[in-house]
A and B are shown apart, each in its own frame.
Chain A
Amino acid sequence: MPDSNEVVETFAVVPPLAEPAQPPRVGLLLLLRTFVRLGLMTFGGSVQAWVHREVVDRLGWLDNKSFLSGLTVAQVLPGANPVNIALYVGLQLRGAIGAAVAVLGMIVPAFCMIMLLGFFYRSYGHLGAVHFVLLGLAAAGVGATLTMGVRVARRLPRDLLTPLIAVTVFVVVGVLHWPMVPVVVVAVPLSIALAYAHEKRKLRHEP
């Protein structure tokens, strides 16, 4: 029977990451264009998933791990998640100026759009077609969210505790509808403490 550390090490194999160590240098104009388009074409709760689609899957600007860390920080800290994740991506790629460009790209065109919509609401707000299309876009957003979830879940460490934490958080927030903030306040320190213990153990066994 193998000792427990061997088991942990065997199961801690993460799929190989074919990803660049250093984020590529992205032009500010391209950064701006990307976030303007994302800000104008994506809605409400699923903006992050579309950002993941473009920034990680298609453009390869960030790897999954880096994006996921930023996403969690963006969700935990105050502020609109899409704006926070734009700030994080911009900062990673081009420093402070990149952060400003990405945030403004996300907010300013969407601001103009909502002003226009508010102006025209009375003339088109009653149209069933508009509500129907929005329902479709919301459903598509959930599809993008699930794709992102599967992609990042497959890269989780294959030990016992990590999936257990993920499933627990999903059940209490998604199924039992506990408020997110207290759940996160308990789960995050616990999960980080376990991860820290794991890192220390690894160091001790690989001198």
Chain B
Amino acid sequence: MNLSRLLLLMLVFSPVSVLSFGGGQATIPEIQHQVVAVHGWLTDQQFADMFAISRAAPGPSTLIVALIGWQVSGFPGAVVATIAVFLPSSIIMYLASAWWQRNEKSAVRKAIERGLAPVAVGLIFAGAVIVLSSAHAGILALTTTAVVCVLQSATKISTYGTVGAVAAVYLVIFTLFHPLAA
């Protein structure tokens, strides 16, 4: 374990955290720039591999920094990079949410609430379209989206049931159509 490397991880990822407006996906290009071009910790190929792993892993996609920290300075590096990327933004979110809760009755909060709602709705649908188009969704993916949408609207099926069922169905389809690859 190398203290100066841990400190450097902290110094690289904390500003990324504070400036990560727009969430995890928006930070990936900046992280790549810092890690590959500025500090030379990873090659482009290594970064691409880690990006693929972070996409395959559950939870927030920003967790890619855990893999980078591991590469740079082992397990302590993974922990430090994760803290550096989540703690500063969480403090900001905490302060904003706490103000929010304290001012429940204020006219300003009512106006903010009413004003934020349509922007949020626009962003929600925009996000759905962006994910579908970046995944080059075909008939199967679009069918999955539609079925999940109908199931969730019409029934009380749980998140875990939905995720498990979709994974099972896709495994079956894959096994039927690619017997050798599976």
Contact = CB atoms under 8 A, between A and B. Distances in A.
A177 B125 CA distance: 13
B31 interface: no
Interface stretch (A3-11, A24-32, A62-70): A62-70
Contacts, number: 369
B33 to A, nearest CB: 17
Given A38-B159, A73-B93, A196-B111, A133 B67 contact: no
Chain A interface helix/strand/loop/mixed = helix
A41 B159 CA distance: 8
B54 A80 contact: no
B120 interface: yes
Interface in A83-100: 83-84, 87-88, 91-92, 96, 99
Interface residues of A, number: 111
Contact of A82 (B26, B59, B96): B59
Given A73-B100, A75-B23, A125-B53, A147 B114 contact: no
Interface of B: 17-26, 49-50, 52-64, 66-67, 70, 78, 82, 86, 88-90, 92-94, 96-98, 100-101, 107-108, 110-132, 135, 137, 140-142, 144-149, 151-153, 156, 158-160, 162-163, 166-167, 169-171, 173-175, 178, 181-182
Interface of A: 37-47, 49-50, 53-54, 57-58, 65, 68-84, 87-88, 91-92, 96, 99, 103, 106-107, 109-111, 113-115, 117-118, 121, 125, 127-130, 132-153, 155-157, 162-163, 165-170, 173-175, 177, 179-181, 184, 187-188, 191-196, 198-200, 203
User: Which 10 pairs of residues, A with B, have the shortest CB-CB distance?
Assistant: A110-B59, A169-B122, A143-B148, A79-B89, A174-B126, A192-B115, A136-B170, A196-B111, A195-B114, A195-B115
